[in-house]
Amino acid sequence: MGETVFQPPVTVAITGASGAQYGLRLIEALVAADHAVWVMISKAAHLVIDTETDAALPARPERLAVALAERCGARAGQIRCFGREDWMAPVASGSGAPSSMVICPCSTGTLSAVATGASNNLIERAADVALKERRQLILVPRETPLSAIHLEHMLALTRMGAVILPAAPGFYHRPATVNDLIDFIVARILNQLTIEHRLLPRWGE
């Protein structure tokens, strides 16, 4: 039997901002588009997931990968998960990291760490790698109101080539459900990744 081949991997980091559903739905959409998905979930994000959703996700990376695969209907090996200090993971180095990384949702804490190059955990390190290698980095912050610190970090990251894609869904598509609001943001992320989807009609369709 040959090895299963997926579309190129996309790194998805879920951090502890409100809106864990955005990140979980993004993983689902990437799996549906047949991409490999490399996932990191921060400690705070696990707390937010428990607070905001019914998804029971274990913390240990191997068990988390199994739970996410079950949830998303992923094929064997399609989802890989890495722990907070798994410095040997491919995302920790420019030679192994995928060409795209999304932090969704992105807490202001992680926003700050990425803007200043802290690299104190694997999510921050993977984002640092994306920046130094000039790869695609998309951050989906959720906070309101925004302080000067948040705004300065967002401006600095935009100037470094990252995309700041706030979790701020529009209402012109007449959302009827919470899922419609979630899909609005996930569709915008997939557009950035140039991944085909039918989550929302495109403007003008």
Ligand X SMILES: Cc1cc2nc3c(=O)[nH]c(=O)nc-3n(C[C@H](O)[C@H](O)[C@H](O)COP(=O)(O)O)c2cc1C
**Binding site, annotated residues:** 16-18, 42, 107-110, 142, 172, 188
| Residue pair 163/194 in contact by the 8 Å Cβ criterion | no
- Of 35 and 125, the one with the shorter C-beta distance to ligand X is 125
Tell me the C-alpha distance between 38 and 97, whole Å.
Answer: 10
- Of 32 and 44, the one with the shorter C-beta distance to ligand X is 44
Hey, is 19 helix, strand or coil? coil
Q: In what order do the strands lie in the sheet with 35-41?
A: 79-81, 35-41, 7-14, 100-106, 136-141, 163-164
Q: Which stretch binds ligand X (CB under 6 A): 15-23, 53-61, 156-164, 187-195?
A: 15-23
> CA angle, corner 116, sides to 144 and 153, nearest 5?
30
| Residue pair 54/22 in contact by the 8 Å Cβ criterion | no
Q: Does 142 bind ligand X (CB under 6 A)?
A: yes
Q: Please select the residue that binds ligand X; options are 28, 86, 143, 180, rule is CB under 6 A.
A: 143
Q: Which stretch binds ligand X (CB under 6 A): 38-46, 62-70, 131-139, 194-202?
A: 38-46
Q: Please select the residue that binds ligand X; options are 11, 21, 78, 110, rule is CB under 6 A.
A: 110
Q: Please select the residue that binds ligand X; options are 10, 24, 37, 45, rule is CB under 6 A.
A: 45
